[in-house]
Structures are given as structure tokens and as C-alpha cells.
Chain A
């Protein structure tokens, strides 16, 4: 039952409630089962890159969540991802504790910093938030390098401790990331139907009506950003755990932009398949196109423009002569 709710995250699941909703549910269930059984067949590098895909899918979900519920763009979510990843690394380095302790800490830190960051622009249009997130993305590398004492500077830190003793490293990374991703997707599907989720959607779609019911726009803005930053931080903790290392190389200005690319490519949807598509797009493309390094930004840029235009295609028809007058 629980897994079948994953389908509700997709629009198809909602609109086809009477029709082929079972097919959608079943296919998502089959996807999860296939991913759960995959380590029996494959190993090594594929499992490693898939674990990173899952972690990045979580980060993509955090950006999509902000777009969906808040109507805001962020290109600085790499900051919160880095916060989560470094929280795990630093807790292990300084206190010798595993991710079991640092994961909740990472989520709390993400929520706290998300709140502090979103609060100043609570009354302003999303444009200002987008500009502020650009500053956040550009400030991140110099913070990571500047606080060398804690972050290990250019070299970064290693994450070595296991979560589940006795299980091989590769399987552990893979399954922990997969389980967290599935749980988050379930939680998002539940959130969509919860009173809080509906309140946030209402504040975005009908600000005045929402205000009349006591839901102010600024409250909605700050709370969705806080939630989204907490999710990004969770994703960061998983990224750190899945790759066993954190370093400033993985958190440049462009990693924040790439998260937005992943979110746009998955059409900002909050379902498991969409998140996987977004996560895979930003993880696998740079890995497999490593030789064509400079083409990656071009490919991402084109994808961003094309998907954005296509997603607003309703408006494009007006520009084609044959659609005139219909």
C-alpha cells in the first residue's frame, strides 16, 4: 500500500485516478523492486554511480519542491547540500560518530540555515530570492576553503564509518541511499495531501484567499524554503555517505545551477521516477561525457532552455500560424 502511494506524486496518478492509476502504481512498484534487486546482477562502478544518482535525486527533489510549492527558483541549493555533506564529515572527524547521529543533525542544520536565509526576502517577489541564492552559491566555495580548520580546505574530508556494521561498503551506500529516497518520495506524496501542503499550495495559487484563512504569503515562503533546505541537507548527507568524501570540488557555483537543471529536466515533479530522471541526468552525464567536458554546460544549457520552452508550450502555439484562430 505504502509504495503504491508513490504514484500519487505524479500528475498522471492524480488525473488518471479512475483510469490507469493501477498501472502507474504497479510500474513504480516494479521500478523500486528492480532497483532493490539490481545489486544481485551488477556491481562496482554502476552501483556506486547509482548511489550517487539517488543522493542527487534527493537534491533535485528539494529544488523541485521549492518550485512546486513556493514558485521560487534557487540556484544556491548546493549550499545546503554541502552543509549536510560537511556535517556528516565533520561529525565523524571530530566526534567519531557515524551518520546515524549526523543525519538528523544535518537536517536540523539545513532547516535552520534555510530559515535564516529565506527570512529576509519573505515579503519580496521570488526574483530577489533567486538573486540571493546566486550569492549563496558563489559564497560557498570560499567558505569551504576559508574555514580550512573544519572543512579540510581544498583536500576535503573522508567519510569512512559504516551505518550498518557487517555489510559491504558498496551495498551499504546503495541501499541506504535508495531507502532514504523512497521514504522521502512517500513523505512528499503524503505532504501533498496534508493540510500543511495544501495550505502552501493555496498561498501560492490564491494568495488573497489564503490570507483570508490566516495563511500569510511570507509564512508560506519561509516555511517552504526551510523544508526544502532541510531536504537538500539530507541529500547532502547522503551524497557524502555515498561518495565517502567531501571536497570543494563537488560544490562549485555550477553544482547549484546543475541541481536546477535536474529539477527542470524532471519537469519539477515530485515522484520517484521523475526524481530518478533528474538525479541520473546530473550524475551520469558528467561521468559518461567526461571526455567532452566543455560540452556538458552547453548540453545542460540547451536542456534547460528546451525543457522550459516546451513546458510552456501552451503559449508557444500562438506563434505558429496554423494555430491562430482556433
Chain B
């Protein structure tokens, strides 16, 4: 392989890796927020996002109703938030008792949501596009499309918004306190439940946004979004599972690594590759790749 050819290949690969990595990061942020505050790994994350994406499809395509894309998204956000509240309410009694039992319960919630999607929308494969004007331009070897810019803009807006909430608001201070020392928070009279609820709601919104943005690159079916969440889980593990910047950076690293792997090695073994990434990260960087660089701070 010539050097020029390598450079011609690598730049677009890196760029599209960064774009999809942003989405993995957004998905991972939801997982990490829930884990940091309530110590539960939310296995229903992907299924809830899938349900949300299908609601948008159902209400905007005419299969249930034909609303505008914006109002369908608003409706889907409402439903996703309601389901997030309901699933937190369900595990609320055991959330302080056992991480393990609550994690198993989220799997149950995920199964129910999965079944609901299959019941209502069937096993069909559908397309769901973003309503952004189509344009694109080339920058050197890299072709940049309107979709890429939309993803970047949404990701930056979300990360900035989350940063402002967590660093500057009372709720954010409470969130940081709860994720550092829940016992001390309870002693100080802080309501742990409301902080948990905040993180579960944020998780639902982040998951839905990630799903809506990832679906245009592939297609929407009852299995694609839940398995897309494996990328989010990997990103969270690479970032250390309890660090928000780690999740974002982990997402981008996973996105780039997956692109390189599928281009140079094989596109058919992506999940196996992610399994390898998870195992290697757990072995050599148990607290995430970024542990030394930024520590455990939010």
C-alpha cells in the first residue's frame, strides 16, 4: 500500500469514525449518568431508544399518524421520559439494596419494551431520515455532508448543555454529590430520588437523540438500535463507566477504531471486535483509558 493511498483512505475513515463516535458517546453519556447516580447498569437503554425511534417513525410516516417530524419527536421524547420514569419507579424499591437485582430488573424492562416494539411495529425494516437539507462539500480528501454537520452540532449542543447543568446548576451539584457519596448526601437531607430521576430522564433523552441520529446511516428495525447500544456500552467501558468526559472521548475512540477495523480487517466481526476491545480495556485499563489524563471528576 502506497503512502499516498494510505493517507487518502485514512482521513475519510477518521472523519466518519469521529461522526459515528460522537453518537456512541452520546449513547454512552446516558448510561454513565444513570450508573453514576444510581449504580445501575441500564440494560433497557437501547430498547427504550429503539421504542422512541419507532414512535417518531410511526407518528411521522403515517403508519400510525402523519404528524410533522418535530411534533413526532416531541411526542417520542414525552413517551421516552414517561417510560424512563415508570421504569425507575419499578426498580426504585430495590435500587439501594442490590445493584445486581436492579440491573436484572432493567433487563426485564428492556424485554418488555422490545416485545412492545415488535407487537406494535412488527419485525419490519424501515427507513427514518433526518429532515436536514442535503448538501455536502469536500475538504481535501474528506467529504463532509449536512448529516455530519447536524450530528456534530447536536453533539456539541448536548455536551455543552450537560456541562452547564452539571457544573453550574443546583441539580448538577446534587448530581455530583450523589455520585461521589450518596450516604453523605442523604445525611445532609438531599433527596436521592430526585437526582436519580434526573439522571434517568437525561439518559432517556440522550439515548433517543443518539438513536434518531444513528438510524439514518443504517435502517430502523427492532434489533438494530438495541445492538447499536453495544457501541455505547463499549464507549462507556473505554471511558471508565463513571466518567462523563471519558464516555464522550471513549465514544469517539470506539467510532474511529471500528471504522479502521471494518475497513482494514473485516466488517463482519464488529461485535467480536467490540468484545475484544472491552476485554482488553478491562484487563489493562480497568478504570478507563482516560483515568490518568482527567481523573474521575465529572
A contacts, CB < 8 Å to B = 67, 71-73, 75, 117, 119-121, 123-128, 130-132, 134-136, 138-139, 142-143, 145-146, 253, 257, 260-261, 264, 294-305, 308-309, 311-312, 315-316, 318-319
Contact = CB atoms under 8 A, between A and B. Distances in A.
**Top 6 A-B pairs ranked by shortest CB distance?**
A301-B111, A304-B108, A298-B115, A301-B112, A120-B283, A297-B115
Nearest to A258: B111
A303 B108 contact: yes
B177 interface: no
A146 B268 contact: yes
Interface residues of B, number: 50
Interface in B256-280: 266, 268-272, 274-275, 278-280
13 contacts: A119-B283, A121-B286, A123-B286, A126-B100, A128-B237, A130-B103, A139-B269, A139-B271, A146-B266, A297-B115, A303-B108, A309-B90, A315-B94
B275 A139 contact: yes
Contact of A132 (B223, B226, B282): B282
A270 B118 CA distance: 34
A257 B106 CA distance: 12
A124 B93 contact: no
Interface of B: 35, 39, 41, 43, 90, 93-94, 97-101, 103-105, 107-116, 118-119, 223, 226-227, 230, 233-234, 236-237, 241, 266, 268-272, 274-275, 278-280, 282-283, 286
Contacts of A298: 111-112, 115-116, 119
B94 A308 contact: yes
Contact of B90 (A260, A299, A305): A305
Contacts of B107: 75, 257, 260, 301, 304
Nearest to A126: B100
Interface centre among A138, A300, A316 (most CB of B within 10 A): A138
A142 B269 contact: yes
A217 B105 CA distance: 26
A316 B98 CA distance: 13
Nearest to B233: A131
Given A121-B282, A130-B103, A308 B230 contact: no
Contact of A311 (B101, B103, B119, B268): B101
A135 B236 CA distance: 13
A78 to B, nearest CB: 13
Contact of B100 (A71, A119, A131, A316): A71
Nearest to A72: B100
Contacts of B93: 309, 312, 315-316, 318-319
B100 A143 contact: no
B274 A139 contact: yes
Given A128-B237, A298-B119, 8 more contacts: A120-B279, A126-B99, A132-B237, A139-B275, A294-B118, A299-B115, A308-B105, A312-B93
B231 to A, nearest CB: 10
Contact of B227 (A73, A138, A318, A319): A138
Residue with the greatest number of chain A CB neighbours at <10 A, chosen from B41, B97, B234: B41
